[in-house]
């Protein structure tokens, strides 16, 4: 799915499109420790796969050139990255952590993150849903959890297109729905989305469990990997709870699959950039986070990863209109209360195992 854009403006360039006044200093002649702090490379820990490829192709080279520094990129899942931050608490080796908003809330609660310098990072141009609590970090990409379905299978079997979470409980979908496990973010999104649709919330997930239990009657399996591609490709799944970026990736392979933003609210998934507390290169780390919010970088990442832009007013690529969270969809997304979720996750998992997956 990778598609790259190689010529991104330097960090110090001001975007005329948004008139961003990013206060970046030290982008002059190269130095071994540009941005202050100890010498050596800026260390960024983030996602692997196509995301890592996009960073190496479209993000890191431009930043290194503009600030005369080197960046070491360490790939890994969000949970792996947060685990590294905890292990390195006394002597941090990572400067910038790129993690999902759920693990970000865990890292914040553990006291592992420094505040964003709002004089350097243009947070005022970021959409509300991508602003983190007390500017403890900032979202730099946006996707959504909703319903992925095979329109050809639905048409062939006379099943109406799903428009709500509850539509997944349609008896005609018996053994054709792959549901996510509560152990991954999509499962949490389903539970909270179903709760809110039925009068509940993160603080009252009883209605969600009741709704998901009904949907579970159609489940052929509960996926723990967060990647249900093979279930669709092999014909086991006609519908699933999945992300728009993942759905778009599979659609690129000419598979008949579409994404639905449920009427009762799709769930926002935010990729966040965070400066690690007591990291060796604090000043340079702030500049790197600012770099991720450059409009040209935002567009490049959207094209490569199908993460929608978080910057208001960024000109969108019309070819990506239905593949990313576009500007007209942002305000309809539901933002999860991760502080409450993380506090109750273990209890929810126990209830899920007893009431949902045991059905």
Furthest-apart CA atoms within the chain: distance in Å = 66
Confidence bin at 334 (pLDDT 50/70/90): very high
Quick check: 17 pLDDT over 50?
no
Res 97: pLDDT: 98
**Count, residues in the chain:** 359
134: DSSP letter: G
CB 169 within 8 A of CB 218: yes
Quick check: 13 pLDDT over 90?
no
What six digits make up the tokens of 239? Answer: 């519908």
Please, what is the end-to-end C-alpha distance for the chain in angstroms? 37
Domains in the chain and their CATH numbers? 42-141+271-327 (3.40.190.10), 144-267+335-355 (3.40.190.10)
Q: How many CB atoms lie within 10 A of CB 244?
A: 27
Chain mean position to CA 313? 20
How far is the C-alpha of 37 from the C-alpha of 173, rounded, in Å?
A: 58
Quick check: 14 pLDDT over 80?
no
Res 61: pLDDT: 96
Confidence bin at 36 (pLDDT 50/70/90): very low
The string of pLDDT tens digits covering residues 244-275 is: 999 999 999 999 999 999 999 999 999 999 99
Res 328: pLDDT: 93
CB 211 within 8 A of CB 193: no
CB 32 within 8 A of CB 329: no
Least confidently predicted of 17-21, 57-61, 218-222? 17-21
Q: Which residues contact 232 (CB under 8 A, 6 or more apart)?
A: 148, 150, 240, 250, 255, 257
* DSSP strand pairing (219-223 vs 177-180): parallel
Average pLDDT over residues 315-333: 93
* DSSP strand pairing (42-46 vs 96-100): parallel
Res 57: pLDDT: 95
Confidence bin at 359 (pLDDT 50/70/90): low
CA distances from 64 to 29, 69, 189, 210, 288 (A): 11, 5, 37, 52, 10
Average pLDDT over residues 36-47: 78
Confidence bin at 139 (pLDDT 50/70/90): very high
Count Cβ atoms within 10 A of the Cβ of residue 72 and give its class: 0-12 exposed, 13-18 middle, 19 or more buried: middle
What six digits make up the tokens of 171? Answer: 């008896």
Res 39: pLDDT: 56
Alpha helices in the chain (DSSP H): 49-58, 60-67, 78-87, 101-109, 151-156, 185-197, 206-216, 229-233, 244-251, 282-292, 295-305, 327-330, 338-355
Average pLDDT over residues 347-353: 97
Q: Mean pLDDT in the chain?
A: 89
Quick check: 137 pLDDT over 70?
yes
What six digits make up the tokens of 213? Answer: 């239990």
How far is the C-alpha of 182 from the C-alpha of 178, rounded, in Å?
A: 13
What six digits make up the tokens of 195? Answer: 């709760």
CB 112 within 8 A of CB 89: yes
Quick check: 217 pLDDT over 80?
yes
**Phi and psi angles of residue 35, each rounded to the nearest 5 degrees, phi first:** 95, 0
What six digits make up the tokens of 9? Answer: 């403006």
Res 22: pLDDT: 35
CB 293 within 8 A of CB 126: yes
Chain mean position to CA 153? 29
Res 358: pLDDT: 85
Q: Which residues pair with 260 in a beta bridge?
A: 147
What six digits make up the tokens of 333? Answer: 């997304």
The string of pLDDT tens digits covering residues 180-208 is: 999 999 999 999 999 999 999 999 999 99
Quick check: 83 pLDDT over 90?
yes
CB 142 within 8 A of CB 243: no
């Amino acid at each position: 799915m990778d598609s790259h854009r190689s010529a991104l403006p330097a960090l110090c360039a001001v975007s005329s499109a948004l008139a961003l006044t990013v206060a970046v200093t030290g982008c002059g002649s190269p130095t071994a420790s540009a941005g202050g702090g100890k010498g050596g490379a800026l260390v960024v820990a983030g996602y692997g796969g196509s995301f890592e490829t996009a960073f190496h192709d479209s993000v890191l080279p431009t930043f290194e050139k503009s600030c005369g520094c080197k960046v070491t990129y360490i790939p890994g899942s969000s949970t792996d990255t947060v685990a590294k931050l905890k292990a390195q608490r006394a002597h941090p080796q990572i400067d910038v952590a790129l993690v999902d908003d759920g693990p970000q809330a865990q890292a914040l609660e553990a006291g592992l993150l420094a505040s964003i310098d709002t004089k350097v990072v243009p947070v005022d141009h970021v959409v509300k849903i991508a602003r983190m609590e007390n500017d403890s970090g900032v979202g730099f990409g946006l996707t959504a959890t909703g319903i992925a379905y095979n329109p050809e299978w639905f048409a062939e079997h006379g099943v109406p297109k799903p428009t709500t979470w509850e539509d997944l409980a349609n008896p005609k979908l018996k053994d054709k729905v792959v549901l996510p496990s509560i152990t991954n973010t999509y499962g949490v999104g389903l539970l909270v989305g179903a709760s809110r649709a039925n009068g509940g919330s993160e603080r009252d997930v009883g209605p969600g469990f009741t709704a998901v239990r009904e949907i579970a009657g159609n489940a052929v399996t509960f996926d723990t990997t967060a990647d249900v591609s093979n279930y669709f490709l092999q014909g086991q799944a006609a519908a699933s709870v999945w992300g728009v970026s993942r759905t778009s990736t599979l659609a690129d392979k000419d598979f008949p699959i579409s994404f639905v933003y449920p009427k009762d609210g799709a769930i926002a998934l935010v990729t966040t950039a965070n400066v690690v507390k007591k990291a060796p290169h604090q000043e340079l780390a702030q500049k790197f986070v600012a770099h991720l919010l450059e409009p040209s970088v935002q567009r490049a990442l959207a094209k490569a990863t199908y993460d929608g832009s978080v910057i208001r007013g960024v000109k969108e690529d019309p070819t990506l209109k239905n593949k990313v969270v576009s500007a007209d969809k942002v305000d309809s997304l539901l933002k999860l209360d991760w502080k409450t979720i993380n506090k109750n996750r273990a209890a929810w998992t126990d209830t899920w195992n007893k009431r949902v997956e045991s059905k």
